Structure 1
């Protein structure tokens, strides 16, 4: 049978920032037919020519995979068993992790009040700079210290709430978190919530200290996190580069050392792109694996909430504590048991088949491809097997980002356990002149950033981005693994293997806050 040709084409569009962008926006608004011409030129109408044989679905679930996993499901782990697995599987990578906080608190040498005071002092110093990371959009000192004091008392009485007690966590401005309003990165939306988002509630139940709202791209509509009206955070590795978006603040605040975990949302790579650009981990879960209640419904058919973290241990911990059904959300009820049972099993990856579509894999910046291939060598040394695969109709799937290609993936996952690609086709670009004041449109560059992310959103599968190295300019590079529906356990195991094999290469950014020193 003839193998389909690799058909993903680069997006050709002008880059506009500053006053030229303002002028172009006015032209599109006032010149009849110009918007249609631009859409046609970018290929957005090519889908009209595509024949779809299957019935479209709003939520991209795969019933066959669900049935298989339910039939093979083991009994759920207890809280202690889960923490034991994650703790034993922890591999330090030089960045501050939740276990570092907890160990100090339990020793009695330092209290949550001490560390939150130090953290707030740093945030205020960063705020006072002309150019700083400035990833935290809103914070309330009084509320943070109230949480810290409650955590201090729990430790002193020997009764911490859970494995995140006293650990600071930031929340993307797309999710409700008291006492803050939710503005979704805008000046026009102003929601005054009466309660936390469910995912935030679950973290509080484990003792987490919610430190405020992280900056995001306006309405999540691009992947730079350029936001002239509210705030544009800067990349800790180079303040003249983008953080990625739309969860750019969530990525930058973890990379800068302020907190080991943050919450983001991913409707088009918005967790994974900031993770790659900022040199941290990011998990896009299976559609409806985590509850979305209390998050603004920007793209409910393709978007999900999920964690970003400085290390694989905290990524798995945040996932496990927040995943699972919410009785008020019907789409979350039909899911197999969550698991992290294989997390610590990284010394031997025998039997794990990693699918590589080489024309797709190689279609990135050469430095990225080189680093990703080097990282794969380490997985092979641990016993994993690389299997060549083909992913047909990538061009139409990218154009769609909303109609069906699930049959393709179901067939591919009969052959392999995961699909590997670079996370992004480029490293974080430099911020162009005028963009911070008037915004930016650069669809060509955004297309390179989003080249490898749309399958997971479009088809509902889970994906993880792992840091693996740096470009010649010192900007982080990420590798992405995508698994069949509901198989976050395997992705987290591979992320943990990444910490084992790559952590010696990790470099803290020049703008890093070492809270424990």
Structure 2
């Protein structure tokens, strides 16, 4: 960010304690099948068991850290880059470079918004053709089932065709709204779209007043619609967004088309799956604990978790709405449109537009090696090769950094996320005496355990957040423009365990491991982006497993992160041996659209 940028809420730069990173051995027993069902009932009926589980999960470990005592509580990590005096903002510009297509001959090529835009302008294809080609592939209720339906919870054919017809007419008149006009997109099933019910991954219950169609489309998604994007449907998610595997016993688990024997990641699981299948170039997700970045990584896509409240002021101190995309340019297009200032949102509307970095700006990568090196050997190999490219070919300086209490603070983030889930869910539960009764067994267990979190614990978590934010501010003062790099996920994939689809599963150890890097951006409100930088061979099934590399930037530094993601895209397309991997069962929507009568 520019040194002249003014902020509201920017923390005082203060180096945190020099703590040793000693990996802990978590002892959360994995639970599946009837064992999970029984355990969930026991924790809900016996508070003493829930409290014992809470302690075993180390959710109260911060009380034993006296270094937190001087820190104030940060219950909301809101840091806002302020609009300069006298400047009137509308929205970020969709610059000419974002209209440029990738070369046709690059390996593993995915269709982008620019591809569709050129085809629509030329008349070789129309948005209506594309919509008619996609709908039979995703609409539920067919026999046999539609091949790609697992990613989609609800598709409203009439709304899709109506929007596609209007877009086709605009192109015929030579008046497309933007590069995104007519481009198919998906939206996660916790994000309001007019005419659709937001199920939040829960089974539909007609007697529950919560399940009502939205009367309006949420601001950031409405900006995409206003630019002509066509919402093909709502996308399946992990119930309540409470884990990062993507397993959903009710709606079914979306397929990871890179390797169908692995989970798609979550909780924006349908979004990642739909991109890996080739059906849409952009999906809109939410991210409170990696729920955009984990599925993006597992599915070989790009994902951006913006600064807290950058796109929309949510009732959360950790969650942000952001895009997943097949290309870095589409990620940028979606981000710029979604962040148009909302005059009715005093927090989101106060954000200054993110500014692309100057070509002459110093480039610095920070790595906390003890933390970074906890990833599996194959992930580390791919990540380190990419970092060598950034250093040797693009001139990045790589500096050693440390971040205090990353392990203890992750436990705090987990408890905070579950506490917010309890608040959000119980606020509209029909039976306030049994608020978790309609949830799957995994969530019944998790929320019963998390209910043991006290107000004192939450304040302690807020002190840890204050410590971390001050330390990050110290790092950015020392290294302006620093990008904190880690693997996105320490494992290249999450293998599917046979039988999990019946009841779901709870594997706290693996969940915490797969979230070990992504939680920091949520806890502190910082933006972070993931990009694919390599692939590894699987232990089961057929197909490659993508490896994601993640950069976390200073508050408001989204454009810097998007520029970095574009550099990472050049690496995987042009430098990485074999280039980008495209799933074998990738759908060629363009050819399918051309075949539509």
TM-score, length of structure 1 as denominator length: 0.91
From 394, 406, 424, give the equivalent of 2:489: 424
* CA distance in 2 between partners of 1:292 and 1:184 (Å): 18
> Retained in 2: the 8 A contact 1:171–1:213?
yes
Structure-2-length-normalised TM-score: 0.79
Greater CA deviation, 141-150 or 273-282? Answer: 141-150
1:15 aligns with 2:15: no
Residue 221 of structure 2 aligns with which residue? 200
Q: Which residue of 2 aligns with 1:322?
A: 338
1:191 deviates by 3.0
User: What do residues 340-389 of structure 1 show as CA deviations (whole Å, max 9, x unaligned)?
Assistant: 466xx6xxx87200001111111111111110001111111111111111
Call closer, same or farther: CA 1:36–1:206 in 2, change over 3 Å. same
Whether 1:411 and 2:422 are equivalent positions in the alignment is no
Give distance in 1, aligned partners of 2:88 and 2:58: 48
Q: In structure 1, what is the equivalent of residue 396 of structure 2?
A: 384
| Cα displacement (A) at 1:105 | 0.3
Write out per-residue CA displacement over residues 71-96 of structure 1, whole angstroms, 9 at most, x where no aligned residue: 9x9997987x5331423596776111
* Counterparts of residues 275-424 of structure 1 (less than 5 Å): 275-292=296-313, 297=315, 300-340=316-356, 351-380=362-391, 381-401=393-413, 402=416, 403=462, 404=465, 405-416=468-479, 417-424=482-489
Shift of 1:453: 0.8
Query: 1-side partners of 2:91 and 2:320: how far apart?
Result: 26
Hey, what does 1:254 align to over in structure 2?
275
Tell whether 2:76 aligns with 1:59.
yes
SS of the aligned residue for 2:564 comes to helix
Question: How far, CA to CA, are the matches of 1:21 and 1:514 in structure 2?
Answer: 41
**Cα pair 1:255 1:279 within 8 Å, conserved:** yes
Partner of 1:217: 238
Q: Say which is worse superposed, 489-498 or 471-480, in terms of deviation.
A: 471-480
Deviation at 1:330, TM superposition (A): 2.6
Q: CA contact under 8 A between 1:83 and 1:163: conserved in structure 2?
A: no
Q: CA deviation at 1:413?
A: 1.5
Q: Deviations over 1:283-334 (max 9, x none)?
A: 00000110247xxx4xx11000000000000000000001143233232133
In structure 1, the partner of 2:9 is none
Pick aligned residue for 1:173 from 179, 189, 194: 189
Match of 1:151 in 2: 167
- Would you say the 8 A contact 1:261–1:315 is kept in 2? yes
1:449 to 488, 500, 514: 514
SS at match of 2:295: helix
Structure 1 unaligned runs (5+)? none
Question: How is 1:52-201 mapped onto 2 (pairs within 5 angstroms)?
Answer: 52-62=69-79, 66=81, 70=84, 82-87=94-99, 94-124=109-139, 128-129=144-145, 134-187=150-203, 189-201=210-222
1:269 aligns with 2:339: no
Tell me the CA shift for residue 250 of structure 1: 0.9
Distance 2:123 2:478 in 1: 52
**Residues 1:25 and 1:263: Cα distance change in structure 2 (over 3 Å):** same
Query: What does residue 561 of structure 2 align with?
Result: 491
User: Which residue is equivalent to 1:514?
Assistant: 588
Q: Does 1:437 align with 2:502?
A: yes
Q: Name the structure 2 match of 1:230.
A: 251
Q: Is residue 169–residue 209 contact of structure 1 (8 Å, CA) maintained in 2?
A: yes
Whole-angstrom distance in 1 between the partners of 2:550 and 2:20: 23
Residue 434 (structure 1) shift: 2.1
Matched, 1:458 2:523: yes
Give deviations 1:202-232, integer Å, cap 9, x for gaps.
0011110011100001111111111112332
Displacement after TM superposition at 1:12 (Å) = 2.6
Higher mean C-alpha deviation, range 425-434 or range 220-229: 425-434
Q: Deviations over 1:105-130 (max 9, x none)?
A: 00011111111111113224996349
85 and 415 in structure 1: CA distance in 2 versus 1, 3 angstrom threshold? farther
Q: Is the 8 A contact 1:59 1:287 kept in 2?
A: no
- 1:39 equivalent in alignment to 2:42: no
What secondary structure, in the 3-state scheme, does the structure 1 residue paired with 2:161 have? helix
Is the 1:89–1:496 Cα contact (8 Å) retained in structure 2? Answer: no
2:356 & 2:158 partners in 1: Cα distance?
36
Partner in structure 2 of residue 481 of structure 1: 551
SS of structure 2 residue aligned to 1:262? strand
How many residue pairs match? The answer is: 502
Q: CA deviation at 1:17?
A: 1.5
Query: For 2:522, what is the secondary structure of its paired residue?
Result: helix
Equivalent pair of 2:276/2:299 in contact (CA under 8 Å): yes
**C-alpha separation in 2, matches of 1:382 and 1:42:** 42
Bigger mean CA deviation after superposition, 480-489 or 81-90: 81-90
1:53 CA drift (Å)? 2.3
Of 490-499 and 398-407, deviating more is: 398-407
2:276·2:586 contact (CA, 8 Å) conserved in 1? Answer: yes
Shift of 1:55: 2.2
